């Protein structure tokens, strides 16, 4: 290939097309469990997470719920991926060997938000949410109306197995937050007078973007490292449906999705998909939907 402005523009378009083709092969799973929030600043503050919305009968003056003073912040992070292509390979018309590389490049960029969200989910056993406790914790503070003091509420099962998660994904704010500041952008440095071409005889292509992950309401999620079986599933499910807000108001939580990795996948299918177990009607059939996420294993 003769390298000139026109041929280099065609080269950039070809690599960009292959990169975008990688996006087409990714079906994001994060959208099932995370709400996307557009960000316009370095970080977003979610002070309102301290108040789970609810109605009351209007008797006397309005009861004003102040925004919580427990500020929860999600700071945007910048991500990049960069690859180099030898100038000699382009001159020798070896472009075809790079096409699948750029397709995988695009796939990796498109998949990264999923990786971030599910890493965040697993990290919930040791990362704080809006109330200052771990997202999955045994002592979330909730005001007890009978005593006027805070009681501890748990959304976790302890154990030593691979984690599984029960989630209510029906609300406007899902259990996790994907905060997007800037979508991934494909860029190139392939001008013949670029420093990388002069100094290293290579063209450089990259993608970069800004986004982050965080937690919504802990009441919408239950994390377990206990053995996955029907009894532990029912315990987690029942605990979530019994969650109450400050003042004792039932929150109406109803789990809809079970997130499992490879090690719990078939156990989950046995518990939730079989019509009968040992000749007895399986009352857990279709209780929740299974979301199999191989990366959790």
H/E element, 182: strand 176-189
Position 104 scores a pLDDT of 95
Could you give the CA distance from residue 114 to residue 122 in angstroms, rounded to a whole number? 12
Percent of the chain at pLDDT > 70 equals 91
What is the rounded average pLDDT of the residues 4-31? 90
Residue 68 binned pLDDT confidence (cut-offs 50, 70, 90): very low
Q: Is the pLDDT of residue 25 over 90?
A: no
Question: How much is the pLDDT for 71?
Answer: 74
Domain boundaries, the chain: 5-54+68-296
Per-residue pLDDT for 283 more than 90?
yes
In this structure, the number of other CB atoms found within 10 A of the CB of residue 25 comes to 12
| pTM, two decimal places | 0.89
Query: What is the spatial distance between Cα 266 and Cα 181, in angstroms, rounded to a whole number?
Result: 37
Mean per-residue pLDDT for 37-45? 94
Residue with token string 């309102």: 48
Average pLDDT over residues 179-189: 95
């Amino acid at each position: 290939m003769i390298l000139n402005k026109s041929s280099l523009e065609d080269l950039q378009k070809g690599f960009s097309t292959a990169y975008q083709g990688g996006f087409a092969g990714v079906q994001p799973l994060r959208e099932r469990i995370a709400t996307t929030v557009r960000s316009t600043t370095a970080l977003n503050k979610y002070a309102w997470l301290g108040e789970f919305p609810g109605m009351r009968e209007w008797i006397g003056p309005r009861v004003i719920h102040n925004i919580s003073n427990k500020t929860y912040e999600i700071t945007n992070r910048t991500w990049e991926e960069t690859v180099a292509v030898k100038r000699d390979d382009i001159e020798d018309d070896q472009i075809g060997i790079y096409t699948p590389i750029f397709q995988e490049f695009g796939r990796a960029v498109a998949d990264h938000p999923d990786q971030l969200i599910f890493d965040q989910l697993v990290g919930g056993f040791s990362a704080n949410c809006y109330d200052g406790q771990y997202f999955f914790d045994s002592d979330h503070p909730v005001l007890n109306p009978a005593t006027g003091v805070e009681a501890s509420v748990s959304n976790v099962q302890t154990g030593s197995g691979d984690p599984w998660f029960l989630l209510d994904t029906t609300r406007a704010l899902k259990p996790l937050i994907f905060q997007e500041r800037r979508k991934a952008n494909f860029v190139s440095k392939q001008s013949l007078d670029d420093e990388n071409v002069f100094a290293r005889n290579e063209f450089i292509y990259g993608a970069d973007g800004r986004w982050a992950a965080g937690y919504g309401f802990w009441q919408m999620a239950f994390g377990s490292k206990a053995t996955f079986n029907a009894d532990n599933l029912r315990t987690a499910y029942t605990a979530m449906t019994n969650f109450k807000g400050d003042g004792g108001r039932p929150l109406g939580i109803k789990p809809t999705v079970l997130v499992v990795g490879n090690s719990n996948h078939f156990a989950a299918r046995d518990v939730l998909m079989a019509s009968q177990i040992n000749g007895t009607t399986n009352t857990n059939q279709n209780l929740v939907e299974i979301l199999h996420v191989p990366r959790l294993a």
